[in-house]
Amino acid sequence: SLAVACREKIFDFNIKKLPIKTRHQHPRPLPHPPSSAKIMLHSVRYTATKLAVPATAVSLALYASSSNEVLAKEAPAVDLEKVRDTIVSVMEEDAEKRGDGTSLAGTFIRLAWHCSGTYSKADGTGGSNGARMRFDPEAKWGANAGLGVARSALEPVKAKHPDMSYADLYTYAGVVAVEESGGPKIPFGLGREDMSSGETSPPDGRLPDADKGSRPSTVQHIRDIFYRMGFTDREIVALSGAHAMGRCHTDRSGYWGPWTFAENTFSNEYFRLLVEERWSPKATHNGKPWTGPDQFEDSTGKLMMLPSDIALILDPEFKKYVEMYAKNEDLFFTDFAKAFSKLLALGVPFAATKAWYQFW
């Protein structure tokens, strides 16, 4: 998500009980892990018979890419399937308490994104390792407004699964939110460690802003932010597709509204709307002049786009990928899974030294 303190659900006509699986029930092709991963675990999940092989029961093999040496490795103490079940239960219980069609899914995706999106490949600082958002200064950054809701919601999960670090939990919650909302399977690695303070937090300003005052400035800002982490234009657009989930809140970012009519469902709808709708500057809200920051609305006035979203269809290089994903959801899902997995792994030691686990 591009720098917006947004993400919850609102429409009453959306399914109110999670997990939301409105499309793509069939298994999807397994995406590859980030190229930086040196090793991989394959376990088998027999969905037809409801038989799963838990991580704690799997014999792991560690493949050293440089020498092809095979070493025995003990399975991690964390059973990701059990953690998933607990996260889903938290999401379902929260949705039932709200009773208004909203959910935590988009907020969890944003939490995972903002924990990871501070990385700089220049000096290796930032990233999801450490879970420093629990402390100042990151907890008080404007870009992280509203994420205390997500962190608090995950405390019961941490209490039930104490062997899982906060850093792994915060990122895995985003993975679960994508997958349980109808999105693709996301390769995920365990091994992040928790810091005891925010002393090693990177400087504020590394997360993207929604608007830099002009189209050229906003486009350049987007590239500066993502290139700093090592992403390509194609990956930038793929990651932006997470705006299919959730909405903006005036009390957090100043912006208002959802990007799609199905904001509880992970899909390529964001791209289709960018291409097919006519977007104009928002002038009114609830019959009164709009006094918030510049944003765009569709012909119904019920959907919104940020200046950073519109920048994706005004820049020729970005636009070609927007159009590509608007036409091909399977391709979007494949590219998003790779890019999101890469994002969550930035700055984490396991990328070079620990096993990359895939539990399906």
What does the alpha-carbon distance between residue 270 and residue 161 come to, in Å, rounded to a whole number?
A: 35
Task: Give the start-to-end residue ranges of the domains of the chain.
Answer: 40-205+340-358, 215-334
Q: If 0-12 CB within 10 Å is exposed, 13-18 middle and 19+ buried, where does residue 286 land?
A: exposed
* 285 carries an active-site annotation: no
DSSP code for 204 = T
Residue whose pair of structure tokens reads 């904001």 in the numeric block: 263
Q: Could you tell me the pTM of the whole model?
A: 0.76
Predicted confidence at residue 114, as pLDDT, reads: 95
Other residues' Cβ atoms within 10 Å of the Cβ of residue 360: 16
Which is catalytic among the residues 141, 256, 259, 356? 259
Radius of gyration of the chain (CA): 20
In the CATH scheme, what is the code of domain 215-334?
Answer: 1.10.420.10
Q: In 51-81, which positions are buried (b, 16+ CB within 10 angstroms) versus exposed (e)?
A: ebeebeebebeeeeeeeeeeeeeebbebbbb
- 40-205+340-358 is classed in which CATH architecture? Orthogonal Bundle (1.10)
Whether 259 sits among the annotated catalytic residues: the reply is yes
What's the confidence (pLDDT) of residue 257?
78
Tokens 């490795």 appear where?
73
Low-confidence ranges of the chain (pLDDT < 50): 1-75, 351-357, 359-360
